[in-house]
Structure 1
Amino acid sequence: MRYLFEDYTFDSDRRELHRGAEMVPITPQVFDLLDYLIRNRECVVSKDDLIRAIWNGRAVSDAALTTRLNAARNAIGDTGEKQHLIKTLPRKGFRFVGTIFEDRQRAAQSASLATHGGDLGKVPSSAPRLSIVVLPFANPGGDPNHDYFVDGMTESLTTDLSRISGSFVIAHNTALTFKGKAVDVRQIGRELNVRYVLEGSVQRGGNRLRVNVQLIDAETGNHLWAERFDKPVADLFDMQDEIVSRLANTLNALLIAVEARRAERLPNPDATDLCFQGAAWFNRRLTPEYMAQARGFYERALALEPGNVEALVGTAGVSCTIGTNHLTDDRIEHLTAAEAAVTKALSLAPNHPRAHNVLGIVQIFSNRAAQGIAECERALALDRNLANAHAHIGLAKLYLGRGGETEAHMEQAFRLSPRDTLVYVWSLIVGLAKFWHGADTEAIVWLRRSLEANRNYPLAHFYLATVLAQVGELDEARAAAQAGLALNPSFNIRRYRTNTPSDQPVYLAGRERFIEGMRMAGVPEG
């Protein structure tokens, strides 16, 4: 079995540890200790567990155990102070907390090659899913004074992509060995065992900065996606943060879609493959039909692997979406199910950013807005690019009667991910905040933006109808309400009224005015 983490490959069959292409020298006992920690990474192992497994129960001093643990940490670039891979839990034991990918196919494919021969480039890729290397961006202008910015962007992007759940990103130091070299991306893919290569260039001309980026399939050499940023030069580091965040968010959704298409072609998809397909359906559209498709894939993943964290977070997201978008009368039931699933996920992966975000959303919609804000802030502390966490903090402020603060949080979300799959939801939230503060004309502008981004979102039609009715545009309001009912025929005022996410007086006062607008627009009473 080969285990992949950071830029290391731990081969338990060959008893080898590699960092990139270089073998890391390691003593047999330290190798065994690492092997035991990695294989038992789902639980905390005690000192006695280690002694039984590594020393066959012989008496071992604490100093000897500490020496071996320090050697194991040193071999994989960890330390007793950082503990980002091997964590010591006082009075409990030790746990390997790094993200691991198991490569079960490699040995079988290598044996097949040895038996049958053939071109390595045509062998089905054994690289981990979501595995990528960010090659050093080129500096076409050649200005050495500009190199620091180009290198900084590459390093920051490497760091931010590693925050994508389930990703395997080659370390920046390894990628730097390709700087300035003519490269064959398929050869790089084989050398580093990655599925994707991201390359780009940063060029400065006068007062403008141009960044070109391409995502390439390392197995075929095909270009999957390209993007260009052309911006006036302002503060370079602010620009770097903005561009990197936008790229990371775009690539997150893009790579999930690509992996889902790969999974569709597999005769026997495993739990991870099914999670990619569930996520791809979830990202398409917030409708009952799409949510049912997403849930089906997540449930199949959980049937194969009951403790799969991504599947648990996925099912929680589906239940949360159904409960928060007025797609059912059983709102509380769906929010309760979402909270149960995401709580279980967090018990298995306490630092899962999206799980904290989903829990925050559940709390925001179940009259616990202050707690929800804290969870979303926790999610952002773990992954600064979670634009949806900013958006829901803005919504929570509305529920707390502080809707004047909502737009600033939403601007953060738009800045981080201007082409996000949820832009239409964020625009709707700003529209609601404007309406609650009596800025009806501005609310209409934002609600129209929501519909421009996604005309198949029922709530945008209903909410636009409501505000149009309040400004006297009754014919257009009724047409908008009918468009919403065509998408969600079961929506009615009773469902909206009984599913109140907050009891804050300022919010409730605005809600009554909102219901009045719905009634004028012809939304059914229920």
Structure 2
Amino acid sequence: MDISENDIRAQLHCILAHPDFAATPQRRAFLSYIVEEYLAGRADQIKGVSIAMSVFDRDETFDQQIDPIVRLEARRLRQDIDGYYAGPGRQDPLRLTIPKGGYAPRFERVAPPEQPGLLPEVAPLEIRNPRRIPAIGLGVAGLLALCALVWFAFVGWWASSPSVSEGALPQGPVVAVLPFDTLGEGPGYFADGLTQQLTSELARFRDIWVLPLGSGQRSSQGGSDLQGLRTEFNADFALEGSVLDKGDTIVLSARLIDLKSQRYVWVNDYSTGRAPSEIYSAQDNIIRDVIGRLAGKYGVLTQDAMKTATRTPPSNRDAYDCVLSYYSYQITIDHGRHPAIMDCIQRSLEQSPDYAEAWAVLSNLYLQQIRFGLGGDRQEVIAAASDAARRAVEIDPNLAAGHLMLANMRFVRGDFDGFRRAGQIAVGLNPNDSSVLAHYGMRLAFSGDWDEGLAIVDRAIALNPVHPHWYHFPRIFYEFDQGNYQQALTVLDQIDMPNFLWTHLWSAVLNASLERQQEAQSSLNELLLQRPAFASEANSILSIWQLGDQFEQKLLGSLHKAGLEIDK
């Protein structure tokens, strides 16, 4: 496609100027350099050596086999760019990428989605709905009043339920699922089915308030009263959509509205054939995709809340903020943050002892003390983790995270049958929660079922494009086990977790296995800089993952080859 130099420069400016573009000054210079070289007609000359000398102040003696600065920074820059297009740049008409295997940029136009009623980002939102509902003699205010009765009756039922305590009530954003529209002569059952199933699947996430089906009903004349949803129900988001019959295909458009700013924050289109079998199959795929991208701690619905929680002073944090901070920490697992996160969770439970999810994440924080050699008596820590997981399930038997932590506890103790049973309950409670899938699938793979475990982890990755990078580690374990060291290193290059134990450990192991002694030694030095006592902790840290003696000995042998003298 014909893309002009002005278009490319405008897109580069949009990326570099946006406050949410996370790249460091050096990576920004990196991006500017490769784009300018591309525009100058020198794309084939963009090499690691030229980037190192022009951007990173290296001289002509630079050897990229010894100094991985360009490769590491290119990986991080790709992630910065992906983050930009997943967030503020999702509507940009031009997409910039840096394909792996080189450093030359690529540009492609992105066709604007077919979204009836979608307004530009700069305009206030006003939506008119062509779908007519049965006239029942109520205006918008009357409908909202009726919905309020339904909503508060629902809250009263939930709070009074004998199996759900006050601490188990949803803590996060309020979402109204509006009835999806049928445009033209399309099948009405498709839109109705999507509305009902999306409502049900979102309700599985215990940190989202989902307004009961129908609370978002619209008047037959006035369109959507989005402000009413905000003022009457304190709703944070509205999920709407439409089904359009285009003859040989049916197109679904799904849109998420931030009611506070009255802007679209997520939009996507899906197409399927007109045959009923195709429609039903597409419905399941669409549900998985929408829920995976919107819900969960790493979905669009909680991203802003997570950012706010991490900026909130510790003295002002409530229990929900602390749980969000935990999930923010889980993105990079920066060991330096562990004590503060654990302290926040423990303090929050003093104030909110019936907050089930806080108990669940506390269980995982306890186990991380052993997984990453962070201190504490092993037996006492495991006992505390077990108590916290049981408390979570006792408070809220339908909390997927609680059953997941029970599964993790049984895994640690080598009870693989019990681990599977609890893990399957967790997945059954919320099959579209990427965090649940990743935890369970990873341990399933480590216990010896590589095929099923990796398939579950791959599903977790596919559900949400902004998943934490640790989701990729099980694939590294597998490729190492199979002797595919270069493939494992390629996967490791996708991971940007510089303060995480396994990042430097695997770099040392894989480079040693590939006879790259200098790189292995450099990575080992980084590992020991973070964990000076790792030589004495290695056996204990590895044993909690139930990898088996043969795998552990192979891993320890590669670490020894990298230069680590492991204490017996």
What is the TM-score when the length of structure 2 is the normalising length? Answer: 0.63
The reply to whether residue 342 of structure 1 matches residue 421 of structure 2 is no
The reply to whether residue 369 of structure 1 matches residue 416 of structure 2 is yes
Aligned to 2:258: 217
Rounded Cα–Cα distance in structure 1 between residues aligned with 2:281 and 2:166: 30
Alignment equivalent of 2:287, drawn from 239, 244, 253: 244
| Within-5 A mapping of 1:65-104 | 95=162, 97=164
Rounded Cα–Cα distance in structure 2 between residues aligned with 1:208 and 1:24: 37
Rounded Cα–Cα distance in structure 2 between residues aligned with 1:185 and 1:147: 23
Q: 1:441 to 1:235 in 2, by over 3 A?
A: farther
Task: Give the secondary-structure state (helix, strand or coil) at the position aligned to 1:318.
Answer: helix
Alignment equivalent of 1:430, drawn from 475, 485, 488: 475
Rounded Cα–Cα distance in structure 1 between residues aligned with 2:328 and 2:416: 28
1:78-129 Cα offsets, whole Å, 9 max, x none, are xxxxxxxx5xxxxxxxx36487899xxxxxxxxxxxxxxxxxxxxxxxx984
Rounded Cα–Cα distance in structure 2 between residues aligned with 1:445 and 1:256: 31
Task: Give the secondary-structure state (helix, strand or coil) at the position aligned to 1:194.
Answer: coil
1:163-220 Cα offsets, whole Å, 9 max, x none, are 1113221122333446896324222222344232223445576888765544333344
Alignment equivalent of 1:228, drawn from 268, 271, 281: 268
Q: Is the 8 A contact 2:401 2:426 kept in 1?
A: yes
**Amino acid paired to 1:198:** L
Rounded Cα–Cα distance in structure 2 between residues aligned with 1:22 and 1:405: 46
**Amino acid paired to 2:479:** K
Aligned to 1:474: 517
Aligned to 1:191: 232
Q: 1:25 to 1:128 in 2, by over 3 A?
A: closer
Alignment equivalent of 1:406, drawn from 453, 471, 479: 453
Q: Is the 8 A contact 1:466 1:518 kept in 2?
A: yes
Alignment equivalent of 2:147, drawn from 5, 12, 20: 20
The reply to whether residue 521 of structure 1 matches residue 562 of structure 2 is yes
Task: Give the secondary-structure state (helix, strand or coil) at the position aligned to 2:257.
Answer: strand
Aligned to 1:50: none
**Amino acid paired to 1:395:** M
Q: Is the 8 A contact 2:270 2:286 kept in 1?
A: no
Aligned to 1:379: 426
1:449-494 Cα offsets, whole Å, 9 max, x none, are 3x2x5444330231132123223233333333334445x3336243
Deviation at residue 159 of structure 1 after TM alignment: 1.2
Deviation at residue 379 of structure 1 after TM alignment: 0.5
Rounded Cα–Cα distance in structure 2 between residues aligned with 1:408 and 1:180: 48
Aligned to 1:255: 301
**Amino acid paired to 1:315:** L
Rounded Cα–Cα distance in structure 1 between residues aligned with 2:261 and 2:174: 15
Rounded Cα–Cα distance in structure 1 between residues aligned with 2:422 and 2:244: 39
Rounded Cα–Cα distance in structure 2 between residues aligned with 1:155 and 1:180: 24
The answer for unaligned runs of 5 or more in structure 2 is 1-144
Q: Is the 8 A contact 1:492 1:523 kept in 2?
A: no
The answer for unaligned runs of 5 or more in structure 1 is 1-17, 27-33, 42-85, 87-94, 103-126
Aligned to 2:201: 160
Q: Is the 8 A contact 1:309 1:349 kept in 2?
A: yes
Rounded Cα–Cα distance in structure 2 between residues aligned with 1:447 and 1:208: 40
Q: 1:508 to 1:232 in 2, by over 3 A?
A: farther
Rounded Cα–Cα distance in structure 2 between residues aligned with 1:290 and 1:397: 28
**Amino acid paired to 1:221:** Q
Alignment equivalent of 1:444, drawn from 486, 489, 492: 489
Rounded Cα–Cα distance in structure 2 between residues aligned with 1:209 and 1:331: 57
Rounded Cα–Cα distance in structure 1 between residues aligned with 2:179 and 2:242: 9
Aligned to 1:499: 541
Q: Is the 8 A contact 1:279 1:294 kept in 2?
A: yes
Deviation at residue 327 of structure 1 after TM alignment: 4.3
**Amino acid paired to 1:457:** F
**Amino acid paired to 2:560:** R
| Within-5 A mapping of 1:265-280 | 271-280=318-327
Deviation at residue 428 of structure 1 after TM alignment: 0.8
Q: 1:38 to 1:444 in 2, by over 3 A?
A: closer
Rounded Cα–Cα distance in structure 2 between residues aligned with 1:286 and 1:323: 14
Q: Is the 8 A contact 2:176 2:239 kept in 1?
A: yes
Q: Is the 8 A contact 1:198 1:214 kept in 2?
A: yes
Q: Is the 8 A contact 1:366 1:501 kept in 2?
A: no
The reply to whether residue 457 of structure 1 matches residue 503 of structure 2 is no
Task: Give the secondary-structure state (helix, strand or coil) at the position aligned to 1:145.
Answer: coil
Aligned to 1:118: none
1:275-330 Cα offsets, whole Å, 9 max, x none, are 45434543442122332332232122112122322321232232233433444475
Q: Is the 8 A contact 1:242 1:416 kept in 2?
A: no
Q: Is the 8 A contact 1:132 1:169 kept in 2?
A: yes
Q: Is the 8 A contact 2:176 2:215 kept in 1?
A: no
Deviation at residue 353 of structure 1 after TM alignment: 0.9
Q: Is the 8 A contact 2:237 2:258 kept in 1?
A: yes
Q: Is the 8 A contact 1:246 1:418 kept in 2?
A: no
Q: Is the 8 A contact 2:194 2:287 kept in 1?
A: yes
- The percentage of counterpart residues that share the same residue type is 19
Rounded Cα–Cα distance in structure 2 between residues aligned with 1:410 and 1:128: 27
Alignment equivalent of 1:324, drawn from 371, 376, 389: 371
Rounded Cα–Cα distance in structure 2 between residues aligned with 1:465 and 1:179: 65
Q: 1:513 to 1:262 in 2, by over 3 A?
A: closer
Rounded Cα–Cα distance in structure 1 between residues aligned with 2:396 and 2:281: 32
Alignment equivalent of 1:416, drawn from 459, 463, 488: 463
Deviation at residue 355 of structure 1 after TM alignment: 0.8
Deviation at residue 516 of structure 1 after TM alignment: 0.7
Q: 1:356 to 1:205 in 2, by over 3 A?
A: same
Q: 1:457 to 1:230 in 2, by over 3 A?
A: farther
**Amino acid paired to 2:449:** R
Q: Is the 8 A contact 2:342 2:365 kept in 1?
A: yes
**Amino acid paired to 2:147:** G
Q: 1:381 to 1:156 in 2, by over 3 A?
A: same
Rounded Cα–Cα distance in structure 1 between residues aligned with 2:458 and 2:440: 12
Aligned length: 416
Rounded Cα–Cα distance in structure 1 between residues aligned with 2:324 and 2:158: 28
Aligned to 2:213: 172
Deviation at residue 498 of structure 1 after TM alignment: 2.5
The reply to whether residue 307 of structure 1 matches residue 349 of structure 2 is no
Rounded Cα–Cα distance in structure 2 between residues aligned with 1:390 and 1:508: 26
Aligned to 2:31: none
Rounded Cα–Cα distance in structure 2 between residues aligned with 1:479 and 1:97: 52
Aligned to 1:297: 344
Q: 1:273 to 1:387 in 2, by over 3 A?
A: closer
1:322-355 Cα offsets, whole Å, 9 max, x none, are 4334444755543332221111121222221111
Task: Give the secondary-structure state (helix, strand or coil) at the position aligned to 1:199.
Answer: strand
Q: 1:151 to 1:257 in 2, by over 3 A?
A: same
Q: 1:268 to 1:183 in 2, by over 3 A?
A: farther
